[in-house]
Structure 1
Amino acid sequence: MARRDLSGAVDFTVLDRMTGGDDAISEEVLGLFVQQAAMWSPMLDVRAEGWRDAVHTLRGAAAGIGAGELAEVCQAAESAGKAVAPAALDHVRTALDAALADVAAWRHELMLRGLKG
């Protein structure tokens, strides 16, 4: 993966503003996002107790790195009624996959920059 693989699911200018453009801090924040996603994604099922907590946590993490669409679908899922929650969680999983793909491509870019600099 490389920068050319970015889909736009994450606006990395948000991350750059938060980290002051420091690649090492960006890498750390993105690593934490990936860990959060791995920890909370198994709970993205209405049968899992605490699925709303998982969505809430992912929403905050997404907003912090610039994954705006993921944050939006998390917010919608968090307030979804039981009848529409399964579909809302499908949207969360799809947006999370897109954000994670962008994060992987960006982390690859950061690694390449580290090798050059």
Structure 2
Amino acid sequence: MARRDLSGAVDFAVLQSMTGGDAAIDEEVLGLFVQQAALWSGLLDARSEGWRDGVHTIRGAAAGIGAHDLAAICAEAEGADQALAAPALERVRDALEAALADVAAYRHELMLKGLRG
């Protein structure tokens, strides 16, 4: 996995502008995003009482790293009627998966750069 594997699901320029391009801070923020995704993705089920809370939290974390599509899909899902929650949450899960794949590729690139010195 490397930078060439990026799909565009995350605009890392947003992250870099926030962190000043400091690779260590980029890694820390992305690690926190991955942790938040793991923690809150369990609520991405229409049968879960807290699904809106999960979507809201993922939305904020996504916006912070430049995952614009994920943040927008979360915003749509947050406002969805309960009857439409299941398909909306499926779109959130798909967008989250794409963002996490980009994050993994970017973190891999950061790790390789760190090894090169």
Give the TM-score category using the shorter length: over 0.9
Q: State the match for 1:7 in structure 2.
A: 7
Q: State the match for 2:35 in structure 1.
A: 35
1:77 deviation in Å?
A: 0.3
Q: Deviations over 1:62-87 (max 9, x none)?
A: 00000000000000000000111110
Q: TM-score, normalised by structure 1?
A: 0.99
Q: Distance in 1 between matches of 2:49 and 2:84?
A: 17
Matched length: 117
The answer to whether 1:100 aligns with 2:100 is: yes
The answer to whether 1:72 aligns with 2:72 is: yes
Gaps (5+ residues) in structure 1?
none
Q: Distance in 1 between matches of 2:25 and 2:47?
A: 36
Give the % identical residues: 74
Structure 1 runs of 4+ off > 3 angstroms? none
Q: Distance in 2 between matches of 1:18 and 1:109?
A: 19
Letter in 1 for 2:7: S
Gaps (5+ residues) in structure 2?
none
1:25 deviation in Å?
A: 0.2
Q: State the match for 2:53 in structure 1.
A: 53
Q: TM-score, normalised by structure 2?
A: 0.99
